[in-house]
Amino acid sequence: MGQISLKQNPFTLQFIEKEVEEHYRIKAFPTAHRSLKVVFIFLFVLEGYLIVVEFFRMENPFYPVATRVAMLLFYTLVILISNFLSKQGPAYHQQFVFSSLLLLYLISLAQDIHGDMYYLFFSNVAFTLIYIVFTVSGLRFTNALILAVIYLVIYVIYCFWWYPNDHHMGQLPNIMINWVVAAMAGYLLEKSGRRAFANGHLLHEKNIEAERYNLLKDKLLSVVSHDVQSPLNSINTIVNMFKEKAISPAESTQLLQKIGHQVSGTIGYVQKILFWTKNQMNGFQINMEIIDIPTSINHCMNGLESLAQEKNIEIKNTVQQGEEIYADSEMFDIVLRNLLGNAIKFSQENTTVVISFQSTDRWVELAIQDQGVGIEKERLDKLFTFNHAHTAGTKLERGSGIGLSLCSEFMAKLEGELSVDSEVGKGSTFYLRFKRHN
């Protein structure tokens, strides 16, 4: 199992791997959403307090009170929309927060132009919003940085060209200093949050890996105790019968043939287990090369000839000479042997297994078709998984229960596809699809 990269861009703090970054955004969304609501609820309460102050401070409070009531409606609208978007997930959250805080800044600018305390109002708003944007707004650092730069540019344009006045110009150095301090605070806060996420992610991955290896251990113990021990016990019984001379010469030939089949089968089981275990432990090296398909099929057929003869099954190879694929030869041989062995195992006596080949400009496809018992629909979805239940063949042949899982994993490593069509009572066709090598 490959390790997921948790490397980050040192400036933006984003995780390099897109999947991890997306996971972080989903994880951080509830906190970011709560932060936005807290900010605007606080502004709502503050605006309500200022409305009361305006009544006692001014002789004609209509305009300032009306303006602040409009702000109350704006804050209420932001909170309501935020609650609605929370049900949609994090997709639009950052854009909404960004737009809301930018609009709030522009509204504050308009209030400053038309208010009677312009020389105090807007600079204080700029100080406050810069800190809010970087620290408690819920914006990711990159978005907060962009918005804060926009704030600063608008402030400079306003002070020097649009509505110049000494007070705002005098506040510019303080705003610049506070901008830098707030940016550093925002950077450190997000870095800390992302570090906590990365540590939690690593712990989660280690727990999954531990569970995975526990399942692997249990599966291997089950296979060794049943599928390997059973044939060995059977062989031991036959050997003892030979020792005690409890069988006739005529029976000995048949029993020796049976021992040969059981030894070959047991070796095949052990080989599958070793390859599969090595694959699970990330120790299997892939060596891609051009493979002559007919040669590999003939080699596989020779190894399974006695098993096919026992059930009088004909293996019909229709693949033309010269057909090739680009794959790891060892992996391909294991997949081919397993699928062809299964075709024989689940075929009825006196039937035919057909191996065919077709190709397109992009793919080459090998098909193995049997006339066996078929596979129930409810089993097809789990057929290539680690924990699928295995069944005995038509003559009660047993398997390791990991063969198809191994085939599926190997095909994935080879960037190929393994699929199946099956009908109960009529048989199955397994398809191996590989990318065409140019």
CA distance 210 to 228: 26
Helices 166-223, 141-157: inter-axial angle, 10-degree rounding: 170
**Amino acid (one-letter) located at 401:** G
CA distance 79 to 91: 17
- Residue 226, C-beta contacts closer than 8 angstroms, at least 6 positions apart: none
CA distance 199 to 201: 5
Please tell me the number of Cα atoms within 13 Å of 24 on its side-chain side: 26
Please tell me the number of Cα atoms within 13 Å of 326 on its side-chain side: 9
Instruction: Name 355's bridge partners.
Output: 317, 368
Read off the tokens for 286.
């892939």
Q: Would you write out the chain's pLDDT as a tens digit for each of its 438 residues? A: 445 566 767 777 776 677 777 776 777 767 777 777 787 788 788 878 777 777 777 677 666 677 778 878 888 887 788 777 777 667 677 788 888 888 888 887 777 665 554 445 777 888 888 888 888 777 788 888 999 999 899 888 888 887 777 777 778 888 888 889 988 988 888 888 778 777 776 666 677 766 766 666 666 565 555 556 656 776 777 778 777 777 777 777 777 776 776 676 667 667 666 766 666 555 557 788 999 999 999 888 877 777 788 889 999 999 999 899 999 888 888 889 889 988 888 888 899 999 999 988 889 999 999 988 888 887 887 787 765 555 545 554 554 456 787 788 889 888 899 999 998 888 899 999 998 876
Whether the predicted model's global pTM rises above the 0.75 cut: no
Backbone angles phi, psi at 364, to 5 degrees: -125, 140
Q: Which of 311, 143, 24, 368 is nearest to 16 (CA)?
A: 24
| Sign of the torsion angle spanned by Cα atoms 30, 34, 35, 37 | positive
Q: Which domains does the chain have, with CATH numbers?
A: 18-208 (no CATH), 286-435 (3.30.565.10)
- Residue 43, C-beta contacts closer than 8 angstroms, at least 6 positions apart: 71, 75, 104
**Amino acid (one-letter) located at 234:** S
